[in-house]
Amino acid sequence: MAELFRQDLTTGVGRSLKHDSADKHVSGEAVYIDDRLEFPNQLHVYARLSDRAHARIVSVDTGPCYAIPGVRIVITHHDIPGLKDIGPLLPGDPLLAIDKVEFVGQPVLAVAACDLETARTAAMAAIIEYEDLEPVLDVVQALRDKHFVLDSHTHRRGDSATALTSAPHRLQGSLHIGGQEHFYLETQISSVMPTEDGGMIVYCSTQNPTEVQKLVAEVLDVPMNKIVVDMRRMGGGFGGKETQAASPACLCAVVARLTGQPAKMRLPRVEDMLMTGKRHPFYIEYDVGFDDRGRLHGINFDLAGNCGCSPDLSASIVDRAMFHADNAYYLGDATIHGHRCKTNTASNTAYRGFGGPQGMVAIEEVMDHIARHLALDPLAVRKVNYYGKTERNVTHYHQTVEHNMLEEMTAELEASSDYAERRESIRRFNAGSPVLKKGLALTPVKFGISFTASFLNQAGALIHIYTDGSIHLNHGGTEMGQGLNTKVAQVVAEVFQVDFRRIQITATNTDKVPNTSPTAASSGADLNGKAAQNAAEILKRRLVEFAARHYRITEEDVEFRNGHVRLREEIISFEALVQQAYFGQVSLSSTGFYRTPKIYYDRSLARGRPFYYFAFGAACVEVIIDTLTGEYKMLRTDILHDVGASLNPAIDIGQVEGGFIQGMGWLTTEELVWNAKGRLMTNSPAGYKIPAVADMPLDLRVKLVENRKNPEDTVFHSKAVGEPPFMLGIAAWCAIKDAVASLADYRVQPRIDAPATPERVLWGCEQMRQAQAVRPPALDMETVPQ
Amino acid sequence: MIQFLVNQELRSEHALDPNMTVLQYLREHLGKPGTKEGCASGDCGACTVVVGERVTDQQGQESLRYRSINSCLTFVCSLHGKQLISVEGLKHQGQLHSVQQAMADCHGSQCGFCTSGFVMSLFALQKNSDGPDLHQAQEALAGNLCRCTGYRPILDAARQSCRQPCRDQFDEQQAQIIARLKAIAPQQTGELNSGDKRCLVPLTLDDLAELYEAHPEARLLAGGTDLALEVTQQHKTLPVMIHVSQVAELKRVDRTDTHLEIGAATPLTDCYAALNEQYPDFGALLHRFASLQIRNQGTLGGNIGNASPIGDSPPLLIALDACIVLRQGERQRILALEDYFIDYRITARQEGEFIEKVLVPLANDAWTFRAYKVSKRLDDDISAVCAAFNLRIEDGTVSGARVAFGGMAAIAKRARHCEDALLGKPWNAATLEQACEALAEDFTPLSDFRASKEYRLLTAQNLLRKYFIELQTPHIETRVTAYV
């Protein structure tokens, strides 16, 4: 025992443990909602979706649905017992359409039947008569017409108008940034079981169990205490299950209430893609003034988010785009307007980065544009604009950027990626390669950590220690693959100094930890890790106090280490102490709570400290493009990313790599295309192309910044890692533009909206050739005899 | 009745719904939920399972061959006489299989929903690999989407899985499984019949011809990778199907003095070696044709028979002057493939007629064949434009020209104006530009979510320019796929 006591715990924080469910994932034993054993009387729910972008509903005839054998009930908005709108903050999202439809894919009615196919057949049999109304499908039109879901908002520092007029150089431009389908592999799903007292148990694949609990209670018109939401794991979330998971849960709850039978709703892929919102597409306009070195004097930005048909979370999402329109740069005098445009498309929602990536793409476009204009290396322009350490370090929302690591990180990455040398070898390659061209870009990431709605920065946890020394852990965060449960369990293991395997991870459940915030904004481990640490420390304190009392020693004589406890000289096992504490009538269960310190923000003044700290990263990407077809391939990616003192390096690297590839996908092959009638045409993986294995860079080198604890008092001084690496993908987009720009000797900014599909890349090449008045390469070559 | 093994368990089915997919069968019928539905359209790989079947090598030695397939696009009747291996079948005596262990060790799972599909693809890769090979691994995994990891840890798991041969329960039980499969080897036309729907599974070409003549309303099911979409995506019912993949004559690849003769039901995977040997560009394109799961199921005849304007093999085959043998009852006729496609999804196939084989001329040094596929994503994507050029250039003059495109019209077709602009002309830049301009007369492509009509036309022209560059100045790099 003494020997074990002297050894280090190998499963605490900082260890690269595998995901707690890894063995179950690989064996197919991990249970997702659709895999749960079902009651024989369970109903399957299918919603009939609007096929109109904007129309008045003249009539709905559900009679024909009942002609299909196996149909149990058909519901429209009339059948909803309580509130009919499930908008998370503001109304605008009717559970089932009332009088009008506002996008193709909006649920109008739902059928519950013995199986999914029957429910679908019946739902399609309903007769819905529409009177078409004029839809708004174009974000620019919505911007010009001030067709908004919410009022515009402005961040301002200094007098940008004067700065622009007096700057030595001035450029204007605009850019479209595409949206992004979450493409979680597990589509939206809920399964609901009626209980006594008019209650429900809701199994829902959601990042926000409390919100689902609240909305289910509201649509049923019962208090929240009747509803329990249980969430073990999601098959991916990425923000798409923050608000959008509620609709299937609420539809099932209404069906379960009306029939007394359990009900399940799993969206087939196409329905999921039509029904649910995505990352906001943005339209950007900028006007920038700068000096000969490319340093900004001032900038005006108009960031127009395409919110779709309702507010959903667009207030905060467009705000976050505005907060990140500086990325890593001191903007000078800046005026940033954020607009929330209303279009007749599915209501756009949270997606990894939450508007931040769009703001950062905007400023990175500006950096490239300045570089091309001044014939400078884009990296030089970026570096000259970095926030300073002691001056030029206040953002346009008046938060001081502290502990900024980008200068050192950029220097390290520049060196480790051989940036300068490769820049030269790429020039040589391009000079000798008329068809294929290479491009290179190194871009930084600075991402603010905290919910900008400050009250959400709170979390709870619950820990029980049983008499055999086994530990039951519950917290308010949700597991969507990011390894949150693993990290939180490592935190608890560390506090108690017990093996990770002693801790049972349990489903997030609203009757264990109430009033939780969504697992979003990269906050999962920061908030829930701290709350669990708090609960564990409370219990540990009780054990220490008990031991000191029991053994008549001082509290300093009690030391927990590697599954054991030292009591001055004596060493006993953790479970022995737990048993003694139980007999000593010590409570072995505790909640824990955490709220983020230091943050405040006054939106009316657009001023404050919305972020507890910033996470930093940088990526260097080399790409090769085909100037005849626009096809491309990422050749090499070097990443240096800051996670503070990592709770679990393997999991953090997984987030960094996965985030980079997802961000790259957003800006390259993932294109959302709607037709003229507002129907999403890329509504399945046959047409919507997320990165596949060959899209991975040939050479991928990922490194976490070492020996840099988060200076703030976060959980074991780690940093959030969910969202920040997503924006490393911007380097891929900039590298493509760099390759295209090589066609015009890097003097012309290619107009390549995001995503840079092969088509857009080819048009970029054509733009360069026109600028240079050169023809495609085949024409320049003399015929060589065979 | 049809019989097959599910992992180690013998299943005999006769009244099962023939429109039921293997995915539904596993999850809903057998209560094995390890296999996941991600899209039900064969595009994500979450539903990947492995099918083991008996094969005999040239020495007459029998073994089992394992191939990954999409269970969401496979009807149960396709399992007739085979072993279906699902993720539940890998763990043995409480121990993870080596590919499962590799995925867990390498942090290859995050949300885990795609994982069982990856595990099955890795299992098939391990069974077919003789050592770690990045290209093999990429090929094996191109049909599996992961939204979380970015793939690096999964490729690490592939490397670990293939590093050393790992004897598993499947190796140990091979003789026994072969014997069990032999015992259930189909002896006569099989059938699934649920009353309102039926699927017939003939064993010989003559039986097939006879059955199809008797049931011309039947849908012919080969790999099913396109047909099954009518059930899973369009929610249609297929009341009568004839499954052709048990007909050995339809799965032969023979080489005559002049042609490759490829049975229509030969999976694309099995067409690869012969086509690649004759036409490396055909082989290269097959690598990017859908995914390995699809190629393991989908057939060359099916890719022709469904007459899709964006099928990738027809433009290549047309440029190569391939023919097809059509059969009806006892009657056979040979038709040039370019004459088979008439208009959008309309073909020269008559009622009761089916494609028996595809005749592809052997490579001829006088002609230079190249093929190009352009799509948004390099892997597992449908072409925006697919081009095939086959020119004979003698003494600097174009003396033969076959140019065909997919994605440019309602059918895969030849670019006659372009060919005319080339024929008899000196092979030079001026001719090339005239031929490029002529392409605008050949095609009026459509705009859709894959590409605009302007992009399609310019890309088609640029691919001809690229062909020219490749022939004239072979040292110049022209393909980003060389870097994959």
**Band (A1; pLDDT cuts 50, 70, 90):** confident
Please report residues of A whose CB lies closer than 8 A to that of B405: none
Instruction: Tell me the nearest-neighbour CA distance from B231 into chain A, angstroms.
Output: 11
Neighbouring CB atoms inside 10 A of A2's CB total: 10
Q: Is residue B165 part of a domain?
A: yes
Collapsing DSSP states into helix, strand and coil, what is residue A719?
coil
Instruction: Tell me the nearest-neighbour CA distance from B480 into chain A, angstroms.
Output: 6
Q: How far apart are the first and last CA of chain B?
A: 46
User: Given an 8 Å threshold on Cβ–Cβ distance, is A185 in contact with B40?
Assistant: no
User: Given an 8 Å threshold on Cβ–Cβ distance, is A22 in contact with B103?
Assistant: yes
For residue A480, pLDDT over 80 is answered with yes
Q: Are residues B33 and B179 in the same domain?
A: yes
Name the strands in the sheet holding B48-56, side by side, starting at the edge strand that comes first in the sequence.
Answer: B9-13, B2-6, B83-85, B48-56, B62-70
**Band (A779; pLDDT cuts 50, 70, 90):** very low
User: Given an 8 Å threshold on Cβ–Cβ distance, is B110 in contact with A183?
Assistant: no
For residue A786, pLDDT over 60 is answered with no
Q: Are residues B134 and B164 in the same domain?
A: yes
pLDDT of residue B165: 74
User: Given an 8 Å threshold on Cβ–Cβ distance, is A628 in contact with B233?
Assistant: no
Instruction: List C-alpha distances in Å: B455 to A757, A782, B450, B461.
Output: 11, 26, 10, 10
Structure tokens, A442: 């190194």
Out of B96, B116, B381, whose CB is closest to A689?
Answer: B381
Please report residues of A whose CB lies closer than 8 A to that of B41: 269, 684-686
pLDDT of residue A2: 87
Span B328-353, average pLDDT: 96
For residue B264, pLDDT over 60 is answered with yes
B278 vs B281: CA distance, rounded Å: 9
pTM, full prediction? 0.97
Instruction: Tell me the nearest-neighbour CA distance from B466 into chain A, angstroms.
Output: 7
Question: Among residues 8-67 of chain B, which lie with CB inside 8 Å of chain A?
Answer: 32-41, 43-44, 46
Question: Among residues 406-445 of chain B, which lie with CB inside 8 Å of chain A?
Answer: 427-429, 432-433
Q: Is residue B248 part of a domain?
A: no
Where in A705-770 does DSSP place strands (E)?
A: none
pLDDT of residue A782: 42
Please report residues of B whose CB lies closer than 8 A to that of A16: 107
For residue B258, pLDDT over 80 is answered with yes
Q: Of A374-378, A403-407, B99-103, B163-167, which gets the smallest average pLDDT? A: B163-167
Mutate to test the interface with B, among A23, A116, A185, A700 (most CBs of B within 10 A): A185
pLDDT tens figures, A420-453: 999 999 999 999 999 999 999 999 999 999 999 9
Q: Are residues B45 and B103 in the same domain?
A: yes
pLDDT of residue A775: 63
Among A366, A356, A357, smallest CA distance to A331 is for: A366
Q: Is residue B481 part of a domain?
A: no
Structure tokens, A48: 């009939």
The CATH number that applies at residue B195 is 3.30.43.10
Given a contact cutoff of 8 angstroms between Cβ atoms, the answer to whether B51 and B82 are in contact is yes
Structure tokens, B330: 């006892």
Question: Among residues 697-756 of chain A, which lie with CB inside 8 Å of chain B?
Answer: 698, 700, 702
Q: Are residues B291 and B230 in the same domain?
A: no
End of a domain among B361, B396, B431?
B361
Q: Is A695 on the interface with B (CB under 8 A)?
A: yes
Instruction: Tell me the nearest-neighbour CA distance from B11 into chain A, angstroms.
Output: 21
pLDDT tens figures, A710-730: 999 999 999 999 999 999 999
Where in A403-544 does DSSP place strands (E)?
A: 436-449, 458-465, 471-475, 503-505, 508-509
Span A467-489, average pLDDT: 98
Q: Is residue B479 part of a domain?
A: no
Question: Among residues 230-249 of chain A, which lie with CB inside 8 Å of chain B?
Answer: 233-238
Instruction: Tell me the nearest-neighbour CA distance from B217 into chain A, angstroms.
Output: 24
Structure tokens, A403: 């502990």
Instruction: List C-alpha distances in Å: B400 to A491, B319, B397, B465.
Output: 73, 11, 9, 17
Q: Is B196 on the interface with A (CB under 8 A)?
A: no
Residue showing tokens 């919910």:
A451
End of a domain among B137, B161, B183?
B183
The one-letter amino acid code at A205 reads S
Out of A34, A632, A778, whose CB is closest to B465?
Answer: A778
The CATH number that applies at residue B47 is 3.10.20.30
According to DSSP, the residues that pair with A228 across neighbouring strands are A201
Please report residues of B whose CB lies closer than 8 A to that of A661: 149-151
User: Given an 8 Å threshold on Cβ–Cβ distance, is B396 in contact with A684?
Assistant: no
Burial class (CB in 10 A: 0-12, 13-18, 19+), A649: middle
A68 Cβ contact list (under 8 Å, min separation 6): A113, A118, A121, A122, A125
Question: The domain containing residue B463 runs over which residues?
Answer: 367-472
Q: Is B105 on the interface with A (CB under 8 A)?
A: yes
Q: How many domains does chain B have?
A: 4
Question: Among residues 344-403 of chain A, which lie with CB inside 8 Å of chain B?
Answer: none
Question: Among residues 456-475 of chain B, which lie with CB inside 8 Å of chain A?
Answer: 458-459, 462-463, 465-466, 468-469, 471-473
Q: Is residue B477 part of a domain?
A: no
B245 vs B264: CA distance, rounded Å: 9
The CATH number that applies at residue B398 is 3.30.390.50
Instruction: Tell me the nearest-neighbour CA distance from A32 into chain B, angstroms.
Output: 8
Q: Are residues B440 and B338 in the same domain?
A: no
Span B135-164, average pLDDT: 96
Which positions of A are annotated as active-site residues?
723
User: Given an 8 Å threshold on Cβ–Cβ distance, is A26 in contact with B101?
Assistant: yes
For residue A776, pLDDT over 80 is answered with no
Q: Are residues B426 and B350 in the same domain?
A: no
Q: Are residues B130 and B53 in the same domain?
A: yes
The one-letter amino acid code at B99 reads V
pLDDT tens figures, B410-467: 999 999 999 999 999 999 999 999 999 999 999 999 999 999 999 999 999 999 999 9
Please report residues of B whose CB lies closer than 8 A to that of A635: 483
For residue A359, pLDDT over 50 is answered with yes
Burial class (CB in 10 A: 0-12, 13-18, 19+), A161: middle
Residue showing tokens 């350490």:
A389
The one-letter amino acid code at A786 reads Q
Out of A31, A185, A759, whose CB is closest to B111?
Answer: A185
Given a contact cutoff of 8 angstroms between Cβ atoms, the answer to whether A498 and A539 are in contact is no
Out of A671, A757, A762, whose CB is closest to B459?
Answer: A762
Instruction: Tell me the nearest-neighbour CA distance from A426 into chain B, angstroms.
Output: 14
Among A179, A176, A174, A145, smallest CA distance to A342 is for: A145
pLDDT of residue B416: 98
Angle (deg, nearest 10), helices B152-163 and A649-667: 120
Q: Are residues B236 and B270 in the same domain?
A: no
**Band (B71; pLDDT cuts 50, 70, 90):** very high
User: Given an 8 Å threshold on Cβ–Cβ distance, is A692 in contact with B36?
Assistant: no
Among A729, A432, A624, smallest CA distance to B483 is for: A624
For residue A264, pLDDT over 50 is answered with yes
User: Given an 8 Å threshold on Cβ–Cβ distance, is B477 in contact with A32?
Assistant: no
**Band (A778; pLDDT cuts 50, 70, 90):** low
For residue A555, pLDDT over 70 is answered with yes
pLDDT tens figures, B396-411: 999 999 999 999 999 9
Q: Are residues B150 and B273 in the same domain?
A: no
Q: Containing H/E element for B437?
A: helix B429-442
The mean pLDDT value of chain A amounts to 97
Span A296-300, average pLDDT: 98
Q: Is residue B331 part of a domain?
A: yes
Burial class (CB in 10 A: 0-12, 13-18, 19+), B217: exposed
Question: Among residues 608-667 of chain A, which lie with CB inside 8 Å of chain B?
Answer: 624-626, 628-633, 635, 650-651, 653-654, 657-662
The CATH number that applies at residue B287 is 3.30.465.10
**Band (B187; pLDDT cuts 50, 70, 90):** very high
End of a domain among B183, B200, B234?
B183
User: Given an 8 Å threshold on Cβ–Cβ distance, is A25 in contact with B112?
Assistant: yes
Q: Are residues B433 and B346 in the same domain?
A: no
User: Given an 8 Å threshold on Cβ–Cβ distance, is B41 in contact with A684?
Assistant: yes
Please report residues of B whose CB lies closer than 8 A to that of A268: 40
Span B22-42, average pLDDT: 98
A107 vs A272: CA distance, rounded Å: 11
Question: Among residues 175-214 of chain A, which lie with CB inside 8 Å of chain B?
Answer: 182-187
Residue showing tokens 């000289």:
A569
Among A521, A522, A542, A533, smallest CA distance to A475 is for: A533
pLDDT tens figures, A104-162: 999 999 999 999 999 999 999 999 999 999 999 999 999 999 999 999 999 999 999 99
Span B116-126, average pLDDT: 98
Q: Is residue B482 part of a domain?
A: no
Q: Is residue B483 part of a domain?
A: no
Kindly state the percentage of chain A with pLDDT values over 90.
98
Q: Are residues B134 and B39 in the same domain?
A: yes
CB pairs under 8 A between A and B: 289
Span A677-689, average pLDDT: 98
Please report residues of B whose CB lies closer than 8 A to that of A264: none
pLDDT of residue A158: 97
Q: Kindly provide the b/e burial profile for residues B71-107, where b requires at least 16 CB atoms within 10 angstroms of the residue's own CB.
A: bbbbbbbbbbbbbbbbbbbbbeeeebbbbbbbbbbbb
Nearest CA in chain A to B106: A18
In this structure, the strands spanning A699-704 and A607-609 are unpaired
Instruction: Tell me the nearest-neighbour CA distance from A439 into chain B, angstroms.
Output: 13
| Peptide bond just before A81 cis, omega within 30 deg | no
pLDDT of residue B468: 98
Span B211-216, average pLDDT: 96
pLDDT tens figures, A484-509: 999 999 999 999 999 999 999 999 99
Q: Are residues B381 and B325 in the same domain?
A: no
